[in-house]
A and B are shown apart, each in its own frame.
Chain A
Amino acid sequence: MNAFSYVRPRTLSDGLRLLRSGASALAGGTDLLGLMKDGLARPELLVDLTGIEGLRGWSRAKGKGLRIGALTPLVELEEAEELHRAMPILRESLRDAATLQLRTMGTVGGNLLQRNRCWYFRDQATACWLKGGTKCFAVEGENRLHAILGAHECVAVAPSDLVPALIAYDAEIALASSRGRRTMKLADLYVAPHGRERREHVLRPGELITEVRVSESALARKGAFQKAMERKAWSFALVSVAAAARIERGVARDVRLVLGGVAPIPWRVVAAERGLEGSGFDEAACAEAADRALQGAAPLRDNGYKLPLARELVRRTLRSLVV
């Protein structure tokens, strides 16, 4: 690791002041410290957020929706019974994410901002395009785990399991920096790296995520999450699918369908959602949505298997909303 200084502020305003250029926020450290050990992140100052009051925990005030503090450990979202009743997809999506140790350490904010898992990216010796080099080594190299949809210069996939689940509930994030506050849709945080944008998200330097919010009306949706992995535990998604909809007398409204592990960003498929609107998630509608979800897919040399895998996982996840 590079030499750096370490501070653990107690208040948000102190934290924001310290997060000037050259500083990185540290939450659970499960991604950032790994990157730093391999020389892939070299902050001069680490601002440990875990001492800041008020960023941890969740609440649901009547009619005001759900608020989840960015520093809430993943395991808390998974275990809280009340939360499970309000939004079961949280536990479903986290149950098979990482390991117990990593979920007790890892936080919501850190999960939203974790870097991709492309092995060329994680290899310190490889100066690939995303790290400022000239070419993507995965496009012509080992690309079994890479994108089949939506990629430009970089074919690494969005790794989080939690993010597709949250986007299926139209989650918003609250951001704060020393210059002020703003909110945005979680889905808008992500960009497929391209052109001069050699990164996976649009968080500004010095900016923190303080909270994730889900509205009361979104909480009325029924949700489902499924994940295909190489082994039964401890594995990033080959493909993950989050689906949600309000189901009124057997008819689907506000349908959301978001895939992880297939594209550089969480892959929301509006065309498939529209096709399902007003349906009863019957076999035919789900199969058609699954086809639509994979429209335009362009597999690489080693990842063609993701196409049938994703199609079937979409079909099953959608069906599970009604059977």
Chain B
Amino acid sequence: MTRITVTVNGAREETAVEAHESLLTTLRERLGLPGSKNACEQGECGSCSVLLDDVLVCACLVLAASVDGREVRTVESLADGSALDPVQRAFVETGAVQCGFCTPGLVVATHALLRENPEPSLAEIREALSGNLCRCTGYGQIVEAVQRAAKTMYLHGLDDE
């Protein structure tokens, strides 16, 4: 076991991890953050997407030991108590959530997109989310949700950080 110190959603966490443990396992099983989902474990589906030092990554392919001293943001950082953030709200309102398994990863990926590009085109949305697979919705409502979120965030001048 190695000890690591990592800032998760703004809070400093210290924990022991196995050398072969993925960041996803650490988040879900040691730090009580099951929002990031575990599906393919091979970087194929995006359901484990988190921000590592503000960069969008698949937590299933990051070694926990390698995040020592770094900063992680997960989907759990977004809602304020029971108040959803604009992206989450847009996903609910447009019916972009069916089984919901892909949703946390998509919400995080949407944040990563809108932070860089507050008014993405349709093509840009599709491109930015193409690493997040959804087996239920056929993506139409998801794209709509991103457009709606972009609009609310733009209108309210909200900062998503």
How far, in angstroms, from A62 to B85 measured CA to CA in the complex? 48
Residue of A nearest to B58 (CB): A101
Of the A-B pairs whose beta carbons lie under 8 Å apart in the complex, a sample of 17, sorted by A's number, is A1-B20, A4-B19, A8-B65, A8-B66, A33-B61, A34-B43, A34-B61, A37-B42, A95-B127, A98-B43, A98-B131, A101-B109, A105-B43, A105-B57, A105-B62, A234-B131, A234-B133
Contacts of A99 in B (CB 8 A): 43, 46, 130-132
B103: shortest Cβ distance to chain A, in Å?
Answer: 16
Pick from A3, A50, A100, A101: contact of B66, CB under 8 Å: A50
A5 is an interface residue with CB less than 8 A from chain B: yes
Contacts of B44 in A (CB 8 A): 234
- Size of interface on B: residues with Cβ below 8 Å to A: 27
For window 112-135 of chain B, which residues contact chain A by CB distance below 8 Å? 126-128, 130-133
How big is chain A's contact interface, by range?
Answer: 20 to 34
Pick from B2, B20, B49: contact of A101, CB under 8 Å: B49
Contacts of B131 in A (CB 8 A): 98-102, 234
Given A34-B43, A37-B41, A99-B46: A105 in contact with B19 (beta carbons within 8 A): no
Contacts of A48 in B (CB 8 A): 63, 66
Cβ of B63 and Cβ of A33 under 8 Å apart?
yes
A98: shortest Cβ distance to chain B, in Å?
Answer: 8
Cβ of B19 and Cβ of A6 under 8 Å apart?
yes
Cβ of A34 and Cβ of B42 under 8 Å apart?
yes
**Which 3 A-B residue pairs are closest in the complex by CB-CB distance?**
A99-B131, A233-B130, A1-B20
How far, in angstroms, from A4 to B63 measured CA to CA in the complex? 12
User: 1/0 contact trace for A29-65 toward B, CB 8 Å?
Assistant: 1100110110000000010101000000000000000
Pick from A6, A8, A30, A101: contact of B46, CB under 8 Å: A101
Contacts of A124 in B (CB 8 A): none
Pick from B41, B56, B61: contact of A30, CB under 8 Å: B61
For window 42-56 of chain B, which residues contact chain A by CB distance below 8 Å? 42-44, 46, 49, 55-56
Contacts of A28 in B (CB 8 A): 61
Given A37-B41, A100-B130, A101-B56: A6 in contact with B63 (beta carbons within 8 A): yes
How far, in angstroms, from A34 to B58 measured CA to CA in the complex? 12
Cβ of A104 and Cβ of B55 under 8 Å apart?
yes
How far, in angstroms, from A4 to B21 measured CA to CA in the complex? 11
Given A6-B19, A99-B46, A101-B58: A29 in contact with B63 (beta carbons within 8 A): yes
Cβ of A100 and Cβ of B56 under 8 Å apart?
yes
B150: shortest Cβ distance to chain A, in Å?
Answer: 17
Contacts of A4 in B (CB 8 A): 19-20
How far, in angstroms, from A57 to B109 measured CA to CA in the complex? 24
Residue of B nearest to A45 (CB): B19
Contacts of A95 in B (CB 8 A): 127
Residue of A nearest to B129 (CB): A100
Pick from A6, A100, A101, A104: contact of B65, CB under 8 Å: A6
A298: shortest Cβ distance to chain B, in Å?
Answer: 31
A239: shortest Cβ distance to chain B, in Å?
Answer: 20
Pick from B63, B109, B127: contact of A233, CB under 8 Å: B127
Contacts of B20 in A (CB 8 A): 1-4, 36
Given A34-B43, A50-B66, A233-B130: A100 in contact with B61 (beta carbons within 8 A): no
B143: shortest Cβ distance to chain A, in Å?
Answer: 13
Pick from A6, A29, A33, A102: contact of B2, CB under 8 Å: A6
How far, in angstroms, from A280 to B79 measured CA to CA in the complex? 59
Contacts of B41 in A (CB 8 A): 37
How far, in angstroms, from A3 to B19 measured CA to CA in the complex? 8
Contacts of A105 in B (CB 8 A): 43, 57-58, 61-62
Contacts of B130 in A (CB 8 A): 99-100, 232-234
A78: shortest Cβ distance to chain B, in Å?
Answer: 11
